[in-house]
Amino acid sequence: MVVLPKPTIDQFTVEKSTLFPGIPLIDLSKPDSKSCLVKACEEFGFFKIINHGIPTEFINKLESEAIKFFSSPMSEKEKVGPPDPFGYGNKSIGRNGDIGWVEYLLLTTNPEFNYHKVASAFGENPENLSCAVNNYVTAVKKMACEILELLADGLRIQKRDVFSELLMDEQSDSVFRLNHYPPCPELHDRNLIGFGEHTDPQIISVLRSNNASGLQISLRDDGSWISVPPDQDSFFINVGDSLQVMTNGRFKSVRHRVLTNSYKARVSMIYFGGPPLSEKIAPLPSLLMEGEDSSLYKEFTWFEYKNYAFNSRLADNRLCLFEKI
Ligand code: GA4
């Protein structure tokens, strides 16, 4: 048997990089937001939303419930783990050996399931966390649908709910995640991988974090990273792989990662809007050139893609299997 050496902190530290001020900023209250949204999805696959209309009390309540959860004894948290894929996870991400300096709670957006899973571990007040998650997810999903409808309009797609109906469907396979990146004082001002680089498999992801930095995006294949300045009052949106396919590569599913720092805990909450499992994902005919098959991707169901994704490593390029040669 080959015994691999234990990983040390040094193997996971990365160079620091400066915060990038040029992230596209979209004001949802402005009438011209749809063209800015399309441009941001094409150039970055990532943008920041202000004037989003999500009640601050939903955000604050969920953040404080999340902090309460992560501060509870490990023996309590472990009662809701390991993730299968839902539940509490600590340092281990997915099924294939990825690790990061993070603990998390991964939930489906189906409220009944969450209640049972969380309730089994929190004898006293399970409904507080479940209720905070449900209120928050309902509001954020509405905003995600609004953004998707503006995008469909911006792309001049006649059916403006072509993307949003997938999230609104009762069978929508959406996921919600709470992440806690504890500070790691031994780092002495260096950074550690909290959540390794990846793209999100779903349609759209909506992220909110406290005021701790750490999120980085990659816009080029040259290994360079852009550090996103944190903003606890705004939301950050990622294009996911499925939206990249539906737009035939016009929108970019952005590669991103999170670094842990040496002094401040980062807490993030992310809604991943996904389609129903049986949904066929393929470039929309209205976005293809007339007369010829300009489709860059083979059609697949969300079930197939999700299965493939959950059996892959975090950093893998999952779409290449579905690219037409
Ligand atoms: C990335 C986006 C979401 O966080 C997630 C992640 C999932 C997990 O944490 O179990 C995956 C990852 C994510 C993509 C590849 C697979 C599956 C970890 C992993 C190694 C919940 C999702 O849907 O895909």
CA of 291 to the centre of ligand 1 (A): 37
- Give pLDDT tens digits for 171-189: 999 999 999 999 987 777 6
pLDDT at 143: 97
- Is residue 223 pLDDT above 90, yes or no? no
- Is residue 19 pLDDT above 60, yes or no? yes
Mean pLDDT of 284-312: 93
Mean pLDDT of 305-312: 97
Which burial class, exposed, middle or buried, applies to 296 when counting CB atoms under 10 A from its CB (0-12, 13-18, 19+)?
A: middle
- Is residue 216 pLDDT above 70, yes or no? yes
* 98 C-beta closer than 6 A to ligand 1: yes
pLDDT at 232: 97
* 106 C-beta closer than 6 A to ligand 1: yes
pLDDT at 98: 97
- Give pLDDT tens digits for 79-106: 889 998 899 999 999 999 999 999 999 9
Which residue CA neighbors atom 1 of ligand 1 most closely? 200
pLDDT at 263: 85
- Is residue 128 pLDDT above 90, yes or no? no
pTM given for the model = 0.94
Q: Closest Cα to residue 54, out of 275, 271, 256, 257? A: 271
Domains and CATH numbers, the chain: 25-311 (2.60.120.330)
Burial readout 234-268 (b: 16 or more C-beta within 10 A, e: otherwise): bbbbbbbbbbbbbbbbbbbbbbbbbbbbeeeebbb
**Among 5-9, 171-175, 218-222, 231-235, where is mean pLDDT lowest?**
5-9
Task: Pick from 272, 303, 305, 311 the residue to mutate for probing ligand 1's pocket: most ligand atoms within 8 Å of its CB.
Answer: 272
pLDDT at 11: 56
Which residue CA neighbors atom 11 of ligand 1 most closely? 94
pLDDT at 110: 79
- Is residue 112 pLDDT above 70, yes or no? no
- Is residue 302 pLDDT above 60, yes or no? yes
Q: What angle do CA 177, 181, 184 make, to 5 degrees?
A: 165
Mean pLDDT over each residue of the chain, to the nearest integer: 90
- Is residue 71 pLDDT above 80, yes or no? yes
Give 3's pLDDT tier (boundaries 50, 70, 90).
Answer: low
CA of 85 to the centre of ligand 1 (A): 9
- Is residue 10 pLDDT above 80, yes or no? no
Alpha carbon distance 178, 106 (integer Å): 7
**Edge-to-edge order in the sheet of strand 46-50:** 25-27, 46-50, 235-239, 204-209, 266-273, 175-181, 98-108, 87-93
Q: Tell me which amino acid residue 301 is.
A: T
In the chain, the percentage of residues whose pLDDT exceeds 90 is 74
* 200 C-beta closer than 6 A to ligand 1: yes
Q: What is the ipTM of this complex?
A: 0.99
- Is residue 292 pLDDT above 80, yes or no? no
pLDDT at 15: 66
